[in-house]
Amino acid sequence: MPSTSHTRKDYYTLQELAVALSNIESSKEDVQDDIAAIEHHQHSRWRVYPQDVTSTALIAAAAVANTFGDWALVIPLNTVPFSFDIIGLVVEGVSAAATYFIQLGYNTVNAIPGANMELGERRVRLVTVPIARATEILIISGQDIPANSTIWARLKTDTGVANTANISVVLERHIEVEREVTIYPAFPW
């Protein structure tokens, strides 16, 4: 004997069907938009900052091993007029052979990054100075930086000396998706 614990509607009004069809079309468009955003991420134009090849951002470690130096401005306020992602950095020069740990951050005002405004980190061991082979892009998966924000970087090394590094960053335009994943509130370390 069939279960009667739930009722089944055997007919739908034209209005109910129209609403259901509209919802399906809207969902289909959202999926298509998200696929376009993925395609854009894979095939977008990357830009390097700074564009002047004689200029880089200089960052310095603290004179204590494994301790970050001060944040240094990389991209000034009101430079990038659209929402963007930092996708990588390039180490172009260093002051000494060492392990370099670089952290990037952002702020929507002309101030150092606040809590949970880190974009990503990279660590690289450079054993010759000057760098024997220029580093390629070190991938950063930064997320959704508001238009006109500042970008900052800071450095720590393993030497106990205030080592420096000259860097540039690579960015792309950020395209929103239907269900943007929120930034995790804080890493456990």
Question: Where exactly are the structural domains of the chain?
Answer: 12-43, 47-173
Torsion of CA 159, 94, 58, 60, to 10 degrees: 0
Whether residue 104 is predicted with pLDDT greater than 90 in this model: the reply is yes
pLDDT given for residue 56 in this prediction: 94
* Cβ proximity of 167 and 131 under 8 Å: no
pLDDT tens digits, 135-184: 678 888 777 899 999 999 999 999 999 999 999 999 988 877 766 777 77
Average pLDDT over the chain, rounded to whole? 85
CA distance 49 to 44: 16
pLDDT given for residue 175 in this prediction: 75
CA distance 167 to 155: 11
pLDDT given for residue 160 in this prediction: 92
CA distance 38 to 17: 32
Range 57-79 average pLDDT: 97
pLDDT given for residue 144 in this prediction: 85
Class of the domain covering 47-173: mainly beta
Of residues 121 and 175, the one with the higher pLDDT is 121
Whether residue 79 is predicted with pLDDT greater than 90 in this model: the reply is yes
CA distance 102 to 174: 23
Across-strand partners of 104?
120, 153
